Structure 1
Amino acid sequence: MKEEKFSLSRRNLLAFASATVISATVKASPAHFAPKVSSTAKLFYTEKGEGKNIMVLHGWTCDSHDWSWQLPELESKYRTVAVDLRGHGRSQVMPSGHYAPADYVADIEALILTHYPGQKFILIGHSMGGQIAARLAAKRPDLVSAVVSIDGSMGFPDKQAALFQKAVDDLQNGDPYLTGPALFELFYDKNTPPAFKRWHARRLQGVPLHVIRESFGPLFLGAGQVGIGKASENFCRSLKIPVYHLCRDATQAGNMRTWFANPKSKTDYWTQTGHWIMQDRSEDVNKAVTAWIDEL
């Protein structure tokens, strides 16, 4: 498709009232903005390639650049859409109170219905993006043909609730620009390059405070959460589409292998990697994910 230029505006960080909105011209191949529909956000995304429809969804405080190690491979084989979720990257920052999982799901649902009517996507999500992908598959199986969850926010045991509650408390009561990177440190591996760690921390420091604080907790805590314990198990068991879940915890992998009903589903335990499996072991992830997709 022909490359086009679009005039974008950098996010006016809500935490800093004196920030100036700076206009910038960004060249993508091609880049799009999904029009706002009702309470859905205007999303930045790129599309490239031909073949099966693939959409990649990043995690909490990240953006679609997380998939830089996958996009060349995916775009060479499939029609690949890479999205910045609301409040992240170049997508629209919504007001406080609009960062529940259902809000994120509604955005992706609207994006597909508006720009790809009558089509289905294989959703590849990391961390929070993995849960958002699975939630959309549960809500709209007519839009989702399969889900790849890369250390997605599902399947954690009840004992993890205390850790996640502490993280929420620290984010609310402390400085998220410090407590967020400290939380990341719990999920790295000795093989995670220091440059990745610094990138993740600096990027989080560019996300508006209310987005950081409001997006994390509902994934694991409160009514409607599907990240922890029996609620997560019941949710995963309800999914009818094929799911490929890659995770770093052997016990979690053992449990979740029995949760997905579709015979094409699988769960793999990965070692020598941190939470960003697709970055720490990019070539291995690319081979594993594309092989699974090609067999669907």
Structure 2
Amino acid sequence: MPYEDVGEGVRLFYTDDGSADGPPLLLVHGWGTDSHQWSWHIDALTAGHRVIAVDLRGHGYSSVPETGNTPRAMAGDLHVLLGRLGIPQAIAVGHSMGGQVVSILAVEHPESVRALVTLDPGYGMTADLARAFPRMIAGLRGEHPHAAAERIDEWCTNAATPAVIRRWHKRRLYGMPPHVLAEAFEAMFTAPGAIGVRPASDDYLARRRCPVLSIWADPGRADWEAALLKDPASVVVCWEGASHRLHEERPEEFVAVVEGWLRGGPGGV
């Protein structure tokens, strides 16, 4: 399987599959997991696309820096990776933290992103939710960081989540370097420059100019993001009753929605 050096001593693991017929897709996983998260989707997506599924720095088989495991650094890594792979523009697909990473990529490197797909993304948190973040970060930096991460992950599932998905994510969380869990979570929500909490989310995400397909489980947050989108081809979808793992719970529907959106409109997205 391929690896690519992207600078600063960081080496990313990725897979590169599929056809060159459709626009290339860059699949970006969430916090505390890795590109195996896309195993439910890659086979279907490769029928019409070149599909790059990457492990972000600090995750999976990629390098684990002592510091710098932040969404902004991860977005910079992806920009370099696309250049090394000879992909001038990709449709960047991100779940959870990955939704924040690909949004940063679209703002800071707009020439690299043709369109975005964000799945229950890690931004737009309200002040009520944000009040719990310092306690969560303290747990991630405490004596039992993986147990703290597991408690955070309980928020990500509900009765719609199959047991195999719960187990899959728990095993990956316990394999994560604790300092990466803490640093990445903090950088998403509470560190200077974090964009995960409103109003910082509003100000930053309004700078995205490409089309965005955003799929949410929460109707309130779906309505909030719809007001921020600039491109007329952008679409917000809400799957009420799904959990944060919505695309893993409903993989066939996820692929159908993405492919339908990419084909929609004059000439597609």
TM-score (normalised: structure 1): 0.86
Query: Matched residue of 2:2: which SS?
Result: strand
Q: Kindly, what percent of the aligned residue pairs are identical?
A: 31
Alpha-carbon shift at residue 222 of structure 1 (Å)? 2.7
- Mark the structure with the bigger radius of gyration: 1
Mapped partners of 1:174, 1:269: distance in 2: 38
Q: Which amino acid aligns with 2:5?
A: P
Q: Deviations over 1:218-241 (max 9, x none)?
A: 111132111111110111211101
- Equivalent position of 1:181 in the other structure: 150
Mapped partners of 2:172, 2:124: distance in 1: 27
Mapped partners of 1:175, 1:233: distance in 2: 34
Q: Matches of residues 74-223 of structure 1 in structure 2 within 5 Å?
A: 74-95=45-66, 97-116=67-86, 119-223=88-192
Number of residue-to-residue matches in the alignment: 263
Pairwise CA RMSD: 1.3
Moved over 3 A (4+): none
Q: Which runs of 5+ in 1 are unaligned?
A: 1-30
- Equivalent position of 1:6 in the other structure: none
Q: Deviations over 1:235-266 (max 9, x none)?
A: 12111011111111111111111101111111
Q: Report if the CA contact (8 A) 1:40-1:103 is conserved.
A: no
Q: Which amino acid aligns with 2:70?
A: A
Q: Which amino acid aligns with 1:99?
A: N
Mapped partners of 2:117, 2:220: distance in 1: 19
Mapped partners of 1:254, 1:91: distance in 2: 35
1:277 aligned onto 2:246: yes
Identify if the C-alpha distance between structure 1 residues 36 and 236 changes in structure 2 by more than 3 Å, giving closer, same or farther. closer
Alpha-carbon shift at residue 170 of structure 1 (Å)? 1.4
1:264 aligned onto 2:233: yes
Q: Matches of residues 16-31 of structure 1 in structure 2 within 5 Å?
A: 31=1
Mapped partners of 2:55, 2:179: distance in 1: 17
Q: Which runs of 5+ in 2 are unaligned?
A: none
Mapped partners of 2:263, 2:52: distance in 1: 17
